């Protein structure tokens, strides 16, 4: 991401969809794709952009139509519409990196599998997906440099745990802490520009680390130029104070990629969280939305009776978090697609 845009508006979702209209203009899209293709393909960039302009536009338009239909649909079919909306948007994203997509029929597969016939004692959170070697999803992992996911089996509960807007719902449903909110100091000392933040001291016990050991642990997951350093001022019992130092950013609020570290994540309002449970295998949040929606789409397509029992039964323990996920994903996934396409982070704030 190149920079952050904070946009104040009455209705964030309405504003997001209005920004997608930019991608319905052939001149805009041709110039847009040419910029992506120029470095890797040189003089052929304009040719490839011309060839893919309409394909890109129709992927975007189709994605919007799926989401529009999902907005007014019953929950019995909503996940399927949202999933195919995601697929259409991601095909457009892939086109920005690969002008030859689809090169062959195998890349048109989903790229993930799950057990189609569910067990009689089925539990949504314990269901899992397996990432295939070929198909749409493996191409997405390449964009995020997350090819380590290929061949892995991933449980839905793990995917739910990394979505920051689901933090409260996750804890109410599973009685576990998944994410810790960061308390960031807004004070800036221009003589020594670092971001000071606070975490619960419980993280040290959770990872069996000392304060200094925890700082070393965090720095192993850095993805950019920033690093975490010791803060010299003592803190009250129960919390720890750390500093984030970046050679080019005065404060993390200026960083479109947040802390540039796999263990930290942001919600769509720009609030930061520490991933309390995900310490080893990084899963980009956008891929978590996709994989969860894939399972939900499979349920409502192939296991209609079971799906109805899950979302309408008074005895279902996970109905609440599924409803929450669908509402949040409808709002956040298009936002993340905009971020990817423009290579900028958009934070929409209400007046």
pLDDT (tens digit per residue) in 152-169: 999 999 999 999 999 999
pLDDT score at 130: 95
**Residues 145, 339, 277, 155: is their CA dihedral positive or negative?**
negative
**pLDDT of 129 over the 80 cut:** yes
52-84 pLDDT tens trace: 999 999 999 999 999 999 999 999 999 999 999
pLDDT score at 121: 84
Contact by Cβ (8 Å): 290, 84: no
Going by pLDDT thresholds of 50, 70 and 90, the confidence category of residue 96 is: very high
Mean pLDDT across 31-49: 96
Going by pLDDT thresholds of 50, 70 and 90, the confidence category of residue 181 is: very high
Per cent of the chain over pLDDT 90 is 82
Going by pLDDT thresholds of 50, 70 and 90, the confidence category of residue 118 is: confident
272-319 pLDDT tens trace: 999 987 655 789 999 999 999 999 999 999 999 999 999 888 778 899
DSSP string, 118-147: --TT--GGG-EEEE-SSSHHHHHHHHTT-G
Separation between Cα atoms, residue 69 and residue 61, nearest integer Å: 12
pLDDT score at 133: 94
Per cent of the chain over pLDDT 70 is 99
pLDDT score at 278: 64
Coil, strand or helix at 229: strand
Contact by Cβ (8 Å): 50, 30: yes
Separation between Cα atoms, residue 187 and residue 219, nearest integer Å: 23
**pLDDT of 220 over the 60 cut:** yes
Task: Report residue 325 CA to chain centroid gap.
Answer: 13
Mean pLDDT across 231-245: 89
Going by pLDDT thresholds of 50, 70 and 90, the confidence category of residue 104 is: confident
Contact by Cβ (8 Å): 285, 336: yes
Average the pLDDT over each of 43-52, 184-193, 241-250 and give the range with the smallest value. Answer: 184-193
* Mean per-residue pLDDT of the chain: 93
Q: Which residue has the higher pLDDT, 104 or 60?
A: 60
pTM: 0.94
**Residues 49, 54, 59, 63: is their CA dihedral positive or negative?**
positive
Contact by Cβ (8 Å): 26, 54: yes
pLDDT score at 279: 53
Mean pLDDT across 318-342: 96
**pLDDT of 140 over the 70 cut:** yes
Separation between Cα atoms, residue 320 and residue 341, nearest integer Å: 32
Going by pLDDT thresholds of 50, 70 and 90, the confidence category of residue 269 is: very high
**pLDDT of 93 over the 80 cut:** yes
**Residue 6 φ then ψ, to 5°:** -105, 115
């Amino acid at each position: 991401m190149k920079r952050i845009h904070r946009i104040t508006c009455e209705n964030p979702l309405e504003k997001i969809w209005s920004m997608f209209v930019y991608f319905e203009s052939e001149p805009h899209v041709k110039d847009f794709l040419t910029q992506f293709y120029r470095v890797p393909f040189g003089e052929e960039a304009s040719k490839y952009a011309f060839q893919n302009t309409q394909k890109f536009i129709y992927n975007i338009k189709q994605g919007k139509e799926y989401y529009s239909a999902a907005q007014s649909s019953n929950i019995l079919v909503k996940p399927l519409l949202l999933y195919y909306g995601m697929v259409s948007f991601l095909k457009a994203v892939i086109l920005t990196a690969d002008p030859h997509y689809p090169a062959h029929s195998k890349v048109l597969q989903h790229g993930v599998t799950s057990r189609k016939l569910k067990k009689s004692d089925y539990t949504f959170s314990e269901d899992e997906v397996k990432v295939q070697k070929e198909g749409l999803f493996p191409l997405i992992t390449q964009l995020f440099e997350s090819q380590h996911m290929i061949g892995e089996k991933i449980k839905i509960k793990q995917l739910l745990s990394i979505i920051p807007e689901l933090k409260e719902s996750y804890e109410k449903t599973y009685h576990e802490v998944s994410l810790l909110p960061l308390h960031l100091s807004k004070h800036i000392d221009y003589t020594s520009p670092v971001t000071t933040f606070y975490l619960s001291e419980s993280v040290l016990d959770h990872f069996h680390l000392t304060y200094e050991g925890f700082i070393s642990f965090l720095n192993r997951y850095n993805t950019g130029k920033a690093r975490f350093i010791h803060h010299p001022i003592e803190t009250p019992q129960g919390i720890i104070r750390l500093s984030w130092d970046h050679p080019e950013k005065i404060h993390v609020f200026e960083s479109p990629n947040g802390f540039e570290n796999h263990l930290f994540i942001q919600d769509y309002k720009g609030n930061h969280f520490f991933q309390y449970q995900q310490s080893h295998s990084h899963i980009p949040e956008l891929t978590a939305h996709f994989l969860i929606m894939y399972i939900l789409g499979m349920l409502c397509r192939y296991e209609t009776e079971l799906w109805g029992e899950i979302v309408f039964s008074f005895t279902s323990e996970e109905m609440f978090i599924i409803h929450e996920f669908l509402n949040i994903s409808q709002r956040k996934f298009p936002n993340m697609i905009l971020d990817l396409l423009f290579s900028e982070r958009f934070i929409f704030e209400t007046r």
